[in-house]
């Protein structure tokens, strides 16, 4: 199956994008997967079971391991507007490739969404804040 556009540039070899991939938020960061996971675990969480608040959005623990080594998934409640309920999303985190010290993040909707400007703004804002936090926490995290 041939991929085109942004999906082909952001999908590592062997990964297939869904037909609704234009509603997801892919991001590749220059932080090794292990460092990224250690930094994510070191960020301060609050609430029962540990929730990480990023702006008005929430990442919910536990981190679920993926089907293969070097992947995991976190449940996300994406806040769009104070008067609207948060959207159920998931954050997939995986090693970009075996030869690369990069990590791929993808925020994916788990329910039907209306592709509004507020939706895209909120998704990009969440990933911008998260990647900034991971980069800042990454170098000082002990492995």
Task: Give per-residue pLDDT as tens, 35-92.
Answer: 999 999 888 888 667 798 998 899 998 888 877 777 899 999 999 888 889 999 999 9
What CATH number was assigned to the domain covering residues 33-137?
A: 3.30.310
In this prediction, residue 18 carries a pLDDT of 52
103-109 and 25-29 beta bridge pairing? antiparallel
N- to C-terminal Cα separation, the chain:
38
Mean pLDDT, rounded, for 92-109: 90
Reading the block at residue 102, the tokens are 């990069």
Reading the block at residue 82, the tokens are 């104070």
Q: How confident is the model at residue 13 (pLDDT cuts 50, 70, 90)?
A: very low
Q: Is it the case that residue 128 has pLDDT exceeding 60?
A: yes
Average pLDDT over the chain reads 81
In this prediction, residue 10 carries a pLDDT of 47
Helices (H) and strands (E) in the chain, counts: 3, 6
Mean pLDDT, rounded, for 120-143: 82
Q: Is it the case that residue 11 has pLDDT exceeding 50?
A: no
């Amino acid at each position: 199956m041939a991929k085109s556009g942004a999906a082909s540039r952001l999908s590592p070899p062997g990964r297939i994008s869904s037909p609704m991939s234009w509603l997801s938020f892919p991001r590749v960061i220059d932080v090794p997967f292990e460092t990224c996971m250690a930094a994510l675990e070191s960020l301060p969480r609050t609430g029962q079971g540990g929730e990480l608040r990023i702006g008005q959005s929430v990442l919910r623990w536990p981190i679920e391991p993926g089907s293969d080594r070097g992947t995991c998934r976190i449940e996300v409640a994406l806040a769009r507007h104070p008067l609207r309920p948060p959207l159920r999303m998931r954050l997939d985190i995986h090693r970009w490739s075996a030869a690369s010290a990069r990590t791929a993040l993808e925020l994916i909707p788990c329910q039907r969404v209306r592709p509004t400007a507020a939706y895209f703004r909120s998704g990009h804002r969440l990933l911008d804040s998260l990647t900034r936090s991971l980069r800042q926490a990454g170098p000082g995290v002990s492995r």
